[in-house]
Every structure is written in structure tokens, then in C-alpha cells.
Amino acid sequence: MNMEIRVKICGLRSAADVQVAAEAGAVYGGFVFFPKSPRNLTVEEAAPLALAAPLGLCKVALVVDPDNDSLDRILAAVPIDMLQLHGHESPQRVAEIRARYGLPVMKAVGVSGPEDLPQIDIYSQVADQLLIDAKPPKDAVLPGGNGLSFDWQLLARRKYWQRPWMLAGGLTPDNVAEACRMTGARQVDVSSGVESAPGVKDADKIRAFVEAARGVTGAKGAPPKLV
């Protein structure tokens, strides 16, 4: 039976990106608010994109170790449905942001080896969703979107966590189906894997990625509920 894999296209930077992602069948659209990223948007750039997003597309703001002032500015102008915390936010900070803004929070957890897995259980106590991503190299400028993957076998025996989770890190139209089958992921996130250049989305790759993810078969159970 079809897995009904839910797809998040992250790093949307234009109205065309948003439209293509929605029409292809993505459930989540990510807007990056991190100046060091080639996918960064200012509040002024993001607001019209989010306002024009088709109904049904969950609009996600990716932020990195944000302070309250920066979150206040984003949320005052951009209609966001979910916050994605992609920095070194502590469990306490995650809970604080979730309580302060009343929005679902997705916490990214970087994984490179089995020693990182306990962090998933820790953050599952305070976040609404988890994004399990490849841990960036120590000298990396970006906390994500580096096109790196990790050993998916690390997740093969832990297909079910306390919270809905999303697989990220080095996914492409060519490997997303294998990644889902190996890990049991029911949600996937892609950014650089559907680009023709850093920060430049490729419409054909977006369509191919969503088609490949949604074509995975053999899963059991219901897909996770959107929060």
C-alpha cells in the first residue's frame, strides 16, 4: 500500500518555487531566515510568498538560535504555521519558544553516529515534530542544507519515535525512495537535492522528488498527523 510520504521542500525563495512545490504535492514549504544561507529571505521578501501560498501548504520558518526579537519580527509580518529550530537550541529554549508563540515547533537533531540518537528522545519531550538531519561538519557555515547524508541504518531499528519525525540530509529524487524504505520515514525534507545551484530551485527536480517519495510502497500504519 502507498506510504503517503509527506514532503517538505525547504529554501523556497520565489513565488514560482512555492507554486511548483504545492502543485507537485508537497505538504510543507520552508522559508529560511538565516543570513549565512544562500536560501535566506528577509522578512520583507518572505511575507508576500507566504501570503500567496496555496491553501494546504504548511508554511515553515527555519530559524537558527533565534532570540525573541527576531522571532517577533518574523511572526508579525509572515503568516507562519510552524517554526523549525535548526540551531543549538536547548530543550528548555524549545519549550519556551513553543509556549511563547503558540505554534507547533519542529526541532532539528543532527546525527552522525549512534551517540547522537539519545538527543532525539530528549527533544521529543518538548517539540511537536523532529527533523533528523545529517550533523554538519565542525567547520560548516550552515547547520543544514549541505547535501550531506548519514548512515540510514542508524534509524532502521527505530522507525517509531514519540513524535512525528522527518528525515533530512542528502536526499535527492534518486535516493529518497531507498531512504524511506530503509528508515521507515513517513516524512522527508529536501533543499539542495532539488536545486540547480545553491539557493536556486529546479522545478523538474521538485516534481521528480515528490513523485519518487510518494511512490514508495510497503509501509504499515497511518501517516503522522499534521500539527
Strand 187-190 and strand 6-9: pairing? parallel
**Phi first, then psi: what are they for 17, rounded to 5°?**
-55, -50
Please confirm, yes or no, whether 58 is among the known catalytic residues: no
* Catalytic residue, candidates 58, 133, 180, 189: 133
User: What DSSP designation does 169 have?
Assistant: S
**Phi first, then psi: what are they for 131, rounded to 5°?**
-115, 115
CA 44 to chain centre: 22
Answer for the pair 124, 164: CB distance below 8 angstroms, yes or no: no
Please confirm, yes or no, whether 202 is among the known catalytic residues: no
**How much of the chain is in helix, strand and coil states, percent to nearest 5?**
35, 20, 45
* Catalytic residue, candidates 10, 58, 128, 180: 10
Answer for the pair 222, 216: CB distance below 8 angstroms, yes or no: no
Active site residues: 10, 133
